[in-house]
Chain A
Amino acid sequence: MQASSGMLTKFESKSSRAKGIAFHPKRPWILVALHSSTIQLWDYRMGTLIDRFEEHDGPVRGVDFHKTQPLFVSGGDDYKIKVWSYQTRRCLFTLNGHLDYIRTVFFHHELPWIVSASDDQTIRIWNWQNRSLLCTMTGHNHYAMCAQFHPKDDLVVSASLDQSVRVWDISGLRKKHSAPTSMSFEDQVARANANQTDMFGNTDAVVKFVLEGHDRGVNWVAFHPTMPLIVSAGDDRLIKLWRMSETKAWEVDTCRGHFQNANGCLFHPHQELILSAGEDKTIRVWDLNKRTAVNSFKRENDRFWVIAAHPEINLFAAGHDNGVMVFKLERERPASAVHQNQLFYITKDKHLQSYLVHSYDFQKDAESPTLLNLKKLGSPWVPPRTLSYNPAERSILVTTTADGGSYELVNLPRDGSGAVEPTEFKRGQGNSAIFVARNRFAVLNTATQTVDIKDLANSTTRSFKAPVGTTDIYFGGTGNLLIITPTAVHLYDIQQKKTTAELAVSGVKYVVWSNDNLYAALLSKHNVTIVTKTLEQVSTLHETIRIKSAAWDDAGVLLYSTLNHVKYTLLNGDNGIVRTLDQTVYLVRVKGRSVHCLDRSAKPKVLLIDPTEYRFKLALVKRNYEEMLHIIQNSSLVGQSIISYLQKKGYPEIALQFVQDPTTRFELAIECGNLEVAVEMAKQLDRPKLWTRLSAEALAHGNHGVVEMCYQKLKQFDKLSFLYLTTGDNAKLSRMAKIAEHRGDFTSRFQNNVYLGEVEDRIQMFKEIDLYPLAYITAKSHGLDEECQQILEASGLTEEQLTLPKLGAPLTPPKPVVPTYKANWPTKATSASVFERALTGQLEGLTLEDEPSAAAATGFGDEEEGEAGGKRTSNLVDVEEEEDAAGWDLGDDIVPEVEEGFVNVETAEAGGAGSSEAEMWARNSPLAVDHVAGGSFETAMQLLNRQVGAVSFAPLKPRFLEVYQASKTYLPAAAGLPPLVNYVRRTVEELDPRKVLPIIPRDLETLAANDLQRGYDSMKANRLEDGVRVFKGILHAVLVNAVGSESEVAEAKKLITSASEYAVAMSIELARRSLGPQDAVNKNPQLLKRSLELSGYFTIPKIEVPHRQLALLNAMNLAMRSKNYNSALSFANRILANGGAAKILESAKKTKAQCERNPHDAVEIEFDQFAEFEVCAASHTPIYSGTAFEECAFDGSKYHTKYKGGVCRVCEVCEIGKHGSGLKLFA
């Protein structure tokens, strides 16, 4: 047995001795009954004390949560059982009856019962609903230390210091208290009485088994949750395992190891383990099946008094002298690795007692069969810690903490075939092991603080000292390692053997690289730090709740999971909640709306999320307005939070687009200086306060139009006047003066007149208000003597009576230099963002155009649709043809057999140059194309001449050079020397130099998929010159080519025939068109006849039906026009027989109807619709069946015999009528 230090403590509390513990079945709560009479309620996840309950007098020993109700029960040394509500936070009632300390209390799993064990030697069952004692079980003759209900059956098990364990049958009790169907009053009375008597008669609960075996008092006993097993712990320091059947119970085995009293024991709820705790300060874990010790955890100073298990999740709690601890037996983080669309992960198999490697395909959402069984790795009770995947070798590195840390390098099988144990693996000591390159991995040994770089054979190629205190290593980008120490992260260059960067981040536990490997997230318990690949910090954030895992979105958003949330963070540190979690999960990948994760039992799951918020924020940061627009239009994003976010982040102009509320809109508009919107909103709201603010803002902008309006609204006449003055708007100023006069506001009138330089009116005004002295002095200073006189007269004074101050020059009002009032000052442009423009102006255009790109960028998962649509590009060719093309799967090249009598010459020589691979090709292959690739053009020509009678090679030159050009690459090697030439092979796997063959560009598949299609397209688009060129190109490309199998040879032949037919058909039609313009042809009967004939011949070659329809339609129309109704009728009939496009059929039907009335030809032509014939490719005249003809050995085009010996008009290479051995494409 080993004392493992690796206890995973999740929570610890400090208090007095803890005697009782209970987990809440759903919430992260634990109840702790203390020796000090307090009951504490802790949130062990947050580590906070939620509540304390202090009504017991003296130590509390037993506590239990109710499974569904917000209740708990406690029992203590005050002989009292108390039932509490944790919602109302008070004791609901007390059950009295026990006559001594109460040791344990437990709720029944479904009935409203409580079982208690007491030092008064009794076990009692209580009903907490009617708060009555149901049954008292006597029989123990010493303290009853523990009593528990069976989780399913009507059984109770109890332990006592009388050294016995008893199993009680309480089915009688259940029968009596199960709800009766109907009950008379008498029955009820009788029942109540019976109850009374039973309390003493003991018929409700009878002892079923007495288990004797402990030779000291028994402290604890527990049922197995599913199996008929009991475990007990006693002062004899033993843990005993008992089994029971219907009729008997017996001792199975004893677990020895505790060297002090064993106080608590239980079965692991999910695994075949027993846990026990004792006063020897240890918690011990035993294998249920072998009864051997698996693990033990020692505490320095505290004796353990009680142990409890969480019913659902893998958590345990133990009470000791100074509080409680909540712990896990093993890490639950499943070791996993992601590569492209695959997740590799390790699960535990309960039955095999070993760890299995699985893979999961994200796209197919499918789990693979088990790939490997890691039985030999570590111990069955210590799960593997990490998994590193090497896609190149398809191997994995698994590390485990067992045996002081070790790793194992295993190759994965190609496909899972069940839990295979690897036949070959390499292992070694180390705490961390990761792949750093395709053929290298790094192993950290923390004991020696060294990192070894090893090759796949597990031999160390280099080794270096890790920085002090290194705890872990991670992949650090190609050729680099991230070395984790408790206080910092180092970026270590493996080749240069030095730290190239260092960042002080403490407590980093995990590193998650972004999908493009540009950023990494360093996860510690409460922090996420995002760094670049050169270890520069980008952002950091703090979480109060523990961070568990993280994964990157394709767009560069980090999603991370805490214990209860999935959150996101952008590179700039903006973060938020994506969704809540019911249970802890480990994120492995984010794709669009799906977050893939592993749960604690290592099951792949998919969480659906709404990525809108972070995508929007990301678009905002990247100023990707199109995408923002897309998001806005397609999702209900608008919310107060996003608005305040935008405002806070300095994007009021964008926030403006979301807001409907005019007040907020106004505020935002002011903030971003969008006066238009502000004015609009101000008009809508029409509040003086808003106008004031608007006026100030508008003034700052120099938009005096708006300012004017504000002042008008506010009736701020003086300000208005001043505005007019400053803008030089004299007309309005005088109107202001009029208004002032009208209002009877003399100050204002005066002001306006001063601004205007209106002296008369000013004087007039002074006179009106009897301010004659002022009127006089105004007149005087402006030299208006006449006016002065009048004033004097009016006031009855003379000039002598007045004492005048010294008069200066009269005030001259400023003259406007520029008519500013005509336009706003162009000082500050209103900020109309791109975004806004996009939203208002080009709305439709934008959305229409950007839909696909935005969709692609957001990856909302509609790519497939697009693809499907793309494939359906109005293909004239029917489905059958498509299938044909798909059928041309070239597959693997099969190496031709070695020619007989081949001797490998060059190895015999000792010195001098050898022959290059290209030379070998020519030797290795009887195919012309391989000779071409090898540069042996002469032999290639010889071959072609022999095979298909090729004589005119000029047209093949481009193809020859194409094949030749593709054959070699140039590998830069030593400086100063020309690059090394290597030969590209189509037999990539082949090693035997006598079997290697060159790569052939534009193989059959490509030709069928691309070139042929292009040919069809040009047919469809009526670009016949292009078409002829394309089809001839196909012929040349096939002529110099190679295929992989006999069946492909047939495909190639088909392609040749097809291309040849098209080439002939197209040249017939081209010949017709070259006769001259239609008018000219119509006038010349000879030409017309030829034209009609050619149009008929055009329908003869065996081209695809839809294309033939085009030819027929053409012929039909021409015939119609020339009143050749009989021919037209036959073409129409053929069209109708072919079927297809409705439009063509329609026109054929019409023609047919027309022609049937008069089925005669106006022009006699040589086209017998009933005869079988082929068209001569040279003369474009019929070759009736039965007549002699010649053909091209390669493409099969037919000629009249007189053309024999000429060059084929179709392929332009072969000699007509020359028969060769046949084209060889496959050897």
Chain B
Amino acid sequence: MDPYSAEGELINIHNHFHQGQYQAVVDFDTSALSPDNALPARVLQLRARVALGQAAAVLADVKGEGAAPELEAVAALAAHALGKTEAAVKAVERLAVVAGDNATVQTLGGTVLQAAGRSEEALAVLGKHEGNLEAVALVVQIHLQQNRNDLAVKEVAAARRWAQDSLLVNLAESWVGMRLGGDKYQQAFYVFEELAQAPATTSVRSLVSQAVAELHLGRTEEAQAALEEAMKKEPGNAEAIANLLVLSVVTGKDPKELTSTLQKTAPQHPFLSDLAEKSELFDKAATKYKAKVAA
């Protein structure tokens, strides 16, 4: 039986992870799990710790252990998170050859490769999956990042056929929906809202997602409320700040304060780098024009 299916042992820890409740994953009591599931649960916990910013500890944790490809993949992920991208990519490339059919290797390998900007290789690694929903979600995300909405739609539709009401499929579908717009905004909103508002499933990530959906739907007040709630839960959440920033610009407010907050908490955020790039572009473009007569 699939341990991640609705009746499986790992459903809850798995859902926690994908709902962005990383602390819940770390705190999850794994002692009662059957031995088969111990390793997948551990991998999830390690990944959660990486997501929580404890990559160094994770790396140390898995260093001394044997050569389970899962743990090596986790090590690569942790290495990547620590900025050792090249080493991580190398490790993943090796793993993909040795254990390309391992689900964890696929997922984490795909993540590392995509994060390193090697989308095609990432898709190749992920493409080997057999019924791995995480891989599907990643493939969808990569397609979206490449602006290949058509492929993402196809991927989700295919997954929908064999994994009906799974969290990951719902999420992936919502991501695609957020890109497509129209009615899809509302549907995506439902998914995010359901996750964000139920106490058992809520997380900052879901709240931010909900807010983004609301922002796209033009419901700025609701978006504001959701983002503020997210900020209250985790003041330093870069996504929350970035989106709140966008929101305040949309609503015509002065975003200066938020910009500096974002600069402090997440100087690497794409919003900032993008903005700096555009600012430069502006200055360059503006030089082409000049008044005939100087004032």
Contacts and interface: CB of A to CB of B under 8 A. Distances in A.
A pairs with B: yes
Contacts of A941: 285-286, 288-289
Nearest to B80: A976
A916 B215 CA distance: 19
B187 interface: yes
B270 interface: yes
A508 B141 CA distance: 47
B249 interface: yes
A951 B242 contact: no
A961 B279 contact: yes
Contact of A392 (B149, B186, B274): B186
Interface string A963-989: 011101111111111111110110011
Interface in B125-181: 134, 137-138, 141, 144-150, 164-165, 171, 175, 178-181
Contacts of A968: 246, 271, 274
Contacts of B165: 461-462
A462 B270 CA distance: 40
Contacts of B148: 913-914
Contacts of B251: 1001
Contacts of A780: none
Is the interface on chain B under 10, 10 to 19, 20 to 34, or 35 or more residues? 35 or more
A937 B282 contact: yes
B20 interface: yes
B114 interface: yes
A991 B242 CA distance: 26
Contacts of B199: 477-478, 533-534
Contact of B295 (A439, A960, A1207): A1207
Nearest to B268: A978
B50 A976 contact: yes
Which residue, of B119, B171, B295, has the highest number of chain A Cβ atoms within 10 A? Answer: B295
Interface in B230-264: 239, 242-243, 245-246, 249-252, 255
Contacts of B164: 461
B239 A970 contact: yes
B193 interface: yes
Contacts of A953: 282, 285-286, 289
A957 interface: yes
A549 interface: no
A990 B181 contact: yes
Is the interface on chain A under 10, 10 to 19, 20 to 34, or 35 or more residues? 35 or more
Contacts, number: 227
B181 A985 contact: yes
Interface stretch (A183-191, A320-328, A495-503): A495-503
Nearest to B185: A988
Contacts of A991: 180-183
B21 to A, nearest CB: 11
A418 interface: no
A988 B217 contact: yes
Contacts of A976: 47, 50-51, 77, 80-81, 108, 111-112, 115
Nearest to A439: B190
A500 B12 CA distance: 14
A945 interface: yes
B75 interface: no
Contact of A970 (B111, B217, B271): B271
A1182 interface: no
B278 interface: yes
Given A914-B148, A957-B286, A974-B138, A984 B12 contact: no
B111 A951 contact: no
A479 B141 contact: no
Contact of A965 (B20, B180, B245): B245
Contacts of A914: 146-150
Contact of B294 (A970, A977, A1002, A1206): A1206
Contact of B278 (A462, A964, A982, A1001): A964
A361 interface: no
Contacts of A965: 245-246, 249, 255, 271, 275
A741 interface: no
B289 A972 contact: no
B278 A935 contact: yes
B33 interface: no
Contact of A1215 (B50, B242, B292): B292
For the residues of A in contact with B, the DSSP-based class is loop
Interface string B203-235: 001001100100111100000000000000000
B67 interface: no
Contacts of B115: 976-978
A438 B190 contact: yes
A961 B180 contact: no
For the residues of B in contact with A, the DSSP-based class is helix
B197 A479 contact: yes
Nearest to B17: A975
B144 to A, nearest CB: 6
B291 A952 contact: yes
Which residue, of A477, A945, A966, A1010, has the highest number of chain B Cβ atoms within 10 A? Answer: A966
A696 to B, nearest CB: 53
Contacts of A961: 275, 278-279, 282
Given A937-B285, A957-B279, A999-B250, A916 B147 contact: yes
Contact of B194 (A438, A534, A907, A993): A438
B208 A972 contact: yes
A1134 to B, nearest CB: 33
Contact of A984 (B187, B193, B215): B215
A970 B182 contact: no
B199 to A, nearest CB: 7
A1104 interface: no
B257 to A, nearest CB: 14
A970 B181 CA distance: 15
A988 B6 contact: no
A1 interface: no
A785 interface: no
Nearest to B50: A976
Contact of B250 (A478, A966, A981): A966
A982 B145 CA distance: 10
Given A974-B137, A982-B212, A917 B288 contact: no
B285 A480 contact: no
A915 interface: yes
B201 interface: yes
Given A907-B150, A957-B286, A982 B6 contact: no
Contacts of B180: 991
A760 interface: no
Contacts of B114: 977
Given A438-B190, A915-B147, A951-B290, A969 B243 contact: yes
B281 interface: yes
A551 interface: no
Interface string B69-87: 0000000010011000000
Given A917-B179, A988-B182, 14 more contacts: A478-B194, A961-B282, A965-B246, A965-B249, A971-B239, A974-B141, A975-B50, A976-B108, A977-B115, A978-B145, A980-B175, A988-B185, A993-B149, A1010-B252
A-B CB proximity, top 8 nearest? A479-B198, A1205-B293, A1205-B292, A478-B197, A953-B286, A914-B147, A991-B182, A913-B146
Interface of A: 392, 437-440, 461-462, 477-480, 493, 495-497, 500, 533-534, 906-907, 912-917, 935, 937-938, 941, 945, 950-954, 957, 960-962, 964-966, 968-982, 984-985, 988-991, 993, 996, 999, 1001-1002, 1006, 1010, 1203-1207, 1209, 1215
10 contacts: A438-B190, A938-B281, A953-B286, A966-B250, A970-B246, A974-B138, A976-B108, A977-B114, A978-B115, A979-B270
Interface of B: 6, 12, 15, 17, 20, 22, 47-48, 50-51, 77, 80-81, 108, 111-112, 114-115, 119, 134, 137-138, 141, 144-150, 164-165, 171, 175, 178-183, 185-187, 190, 193-194, 197-201, 205, 208-209, 212, 215-218, 239, 242-243, 245-246, 249-252, 255, 269-271, 274-275, 278-279, 281-283, 285-286, 288-295
